[in-house]
Structure 1
Amino acid sequence: MNKFDLLITCPRFKERDASAEVKYFLAELGDEEAVAEPIGMPGILACQTKIDPMEVIELLKGYIEDNLVYFQYTLRYIPIQVVVNSTIDNIVDAINELKNRIKNKDTFRITIEKRHTHIDRNELIKDAATVITNKVDLENPDKIILIEIVGDKTGISIIEQNDIISIPIEKREGDFEEEDFLPY
């Protein structure tokens, strides 16, 4: 998939079940044409939706409140704002396009998830950090520059810490019994 709006993680070998789950939830949220498919790496799906990825996250947060027990196969929902070919120059250019999402007083952190790539993490961080002049805060940043490298494609977002949905954390923090969920 050359363009995706969300990366979704799931247990290995549960990609097909997770794909069906994602399509069902997105249909419930208003996109019956969403596509969620494995990308050839265990435990990862790429999803295209007509709904803005940040709006999907907000809608899912509300949906989870009443439907958490139905999240059986998906683990994390990660919004992606821009997709580029996986080169340092392309990634830095994309960050430059998105940097207006960071206000002057916001602190930031760069988080990189690398899968199936030889891009040097330190070189990427050094080059990406030159685009943003704000103060760095590794522990509690106002904004996170999220770089998700998945082979020859990279998804980039500038998000806040609560913009990634973690179903296991939601289940731990919820008021549920363990038997409410399917074991896998």
Structure 2
Amino acid sequence: MDFNLVVSTGRRLEGRCADELKYIGDLVGMRIAQTSFTGFDGLITGYVDGDPVEFTRRLKDLVTGGHYVPRFVLKVVPVMRTVSTKIDEISKAAVELAGRYLSANETYKVEVRKRGVDLDRMDIIDSIASKISNKVKLEGPDKVIQVEVFPSRTGISVIREDDVFSLMRVSVGSQQSGE
């Protein structure tokens, strides 16, 4: 099962979240082809036809413009690539994506969220960071290498921190003209 979105919601609201995600896809003009329950409370994955980073940006515009406020979709993390949950595969894909999306002078940090696996978080980070020559910056980096680890598949992205949609961090309907 591949996915390009990791979506957080409340416990036992996964079904409603999946329905709302499909509705949001219609609103922003990007079809949600599938959603799946991850087996972890309050967490589903989805697959959007098109660029998942563009999806989160459109969702953010929708909310800040005051056009729609999600009730069940609380956070959406875009995923650029999925691989088998093995450190060497995770590291290889992360380094390849960093080579494509991280320019020579940009700083970065590796963010790992793992669920239901006994892989060590620092082992994952070290396996990636040891192969990237860019400067690490833990606070306010230019890019984040986002690693979403699940038992069988892991999603990886190289994104800006604000490419993650978080309802808690978005001010609803307060976008001002000229921004």
Query: Common fold, TM-score beyond 0.5?
Result: yes
Secondary structure of residue in 2 paired with 1:67: coil
Between the aligned partners of 1:68 and 1:167, the Cα distance in structure 2 is: 11
| Offset from partner CA, 1:113-141 (integer Å, 9 cap, x none) | 01000111111111111221011100110
Q: What is the CA distance between 1:38 and its match in structure 2?
A: 1.3
2:46 match? 47
2:136 match? 136
Secondary structure of residue in 2 paired with 1:169: coil
Q: Is the 8 A contact 1:82 1:94 kept in 2?
A: yes
Greater relative contact order, per chain length (Cα 8 Å cut-off, separation 6+): 2
2:21 match? 22
* Root-mean-square deviation (Å): 1.5
The share of aligned pairs that are identical, in percent, is 30
- In the alignment, structure 1 segments of 5+ residues that lack a partner are 177-184
Q: Is the 8 A contact 1:26 1:34 kept in 2?
A: no
- In the alignment, structure 2 segments of 5+ residues that lack a partner are 175-179
How many residues align? The count is 172
**Is structure 2 residue 101 aligned with structure 1 residue 101?**
yes
1:12 match? 11
Q: Is the 8 A contact 2:21 2:32 kept in 1?
A: no
Between the aligned partners of 1:122 and 1:175, the Cα distance in structure 2 is: 39
Q: Is the 8 A contact 2:30 2:55 kept in 1?
A: no
Q: What is the CA distance between 1:58 and its match in structure 2?
A: 1.7
Question: What letter corresponds to residue 149 of structure 2 in structure 1?
Answer: I
Q: What is the CA distance between 1:46 and its match in structure 2?
A: 0.6
Between the aligned partners of 2:62 and 2:140, the Cα distance in structure 1 is: 27
Q: Is the 8 A contact 1:102 1:143 kept in 2?
A: yes
Q: What is the CA distance between 1:5 and its match in structure 2?
A: 0.9
**Is structure 2 residue 61 aligned with structure 1 residue 62?**
yes
Q: What is the CA distance between 1:36 and its match in structure 2?
A: 1.9
Q: Is the 8 A contact 1:27 1:34 kept in 2?
A: no
Show structure 1 runs of 4+ deviating over 6 A.
none
What TM-score results when the alignment is normalised by the length of structure 1? 0.88
Q: What is the CA distance between 1:174 and its match in structure 2?
A: 3.4
Q: Is the 8 A contact 2:57 2:165 kept in 1?
A: no
2:120 match? 120
Q: What is the CA distance between 1:66 and its match in structure 2?
A: 2.5
| Offset from partner CA, 1:4-26 (integer Å, 9 cap, x none) | 01110000100001010000110
What TM-score results when the alignment is normalised by the length of structure 2? 0.90
